[in-house]
């Protein structure tokens, strides 16, 4: 099955496509570094230490 029929006959309006690529890139970066980001937030607000202390 050929998956590449998109853009066969409509004008995709480049601005909307580029914007989606940017959103997808930001979402991808966010997903890749999510553990680092969440860990950093926890450290800043001290959630991790409280959990460590209680355990």
Partner 1 sequence: MSVTRVAGSFRDPSGFVFLRNEEVFRSIDDQCFETLMQLADEGNLDDWVERQLIVGTEFIEEGPLLDDLKRELPETQHFLRHERIPLVTYPYEWTVSMLADAGICTLDLQIELLESGHSLKDATAYNVQFVNGKPTMIDVASIERPSRLDVWFALGQFLQMFVYPLLLNKYRGWDLRSYFVSSLNGRDIESVAKSFGLLERFRPGLFLDLTLPLWLHRMSEKKQESKRDVLEKKVTNTAPQIANLKRLRSKLQKLAASYKPSGVWSSYTNICNYDDEADSAKKQLVRDILTRSQPGEVLDIGCNTGTYSFLAAECGANVTSVDGDHDAIEILYRRLKDNPASISPLVVDLANPSPSIGFMNVERPSFLDRSQPGCVMALALMHHLLVSANMSMDAIADQMHSMTNRDLIIEFVPTDDSMFERLMKFRVDLFQGVNLENCIKAFDAKFELLEKHPIPGSKRTLLYFRKK
Q: Which is nearer to partner 1, 31 or 38 (CB)?
A: 31
Closest contact distance (angstroms) between CB of 39 and partner 1 is 21
Neighbour-count burial of 18, counting CB atoms closer than 10 A to its CB (0-12 exposed, 13-18 middle, 19+ buried): exposed
**Minimum CB separation from partner 1 for residue 41, in Å?**
20
CA distance 27 to 24: 5
The nearest distance, CB 13 to partner 1, in angstroms, is 2
> Is the alpha carbon torsion for 44, 50, 53, 55 positive or negative?
negative
Binding site for partner 1 (CB under 8 A): 1-24, 27-28, 31
């Amino acid at each position: 099955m050929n998956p590449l029929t998109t853009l066969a006959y409509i004008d995709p309006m480049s601005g909307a496509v580029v914007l989606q690529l940017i959103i997808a890139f930001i979402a991808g970066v966010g997903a890749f570094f999510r553990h680092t980001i969440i860990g950093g937030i926890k450290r800043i607000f001290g959630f991790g230490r409280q959990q460590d202390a209680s355990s």
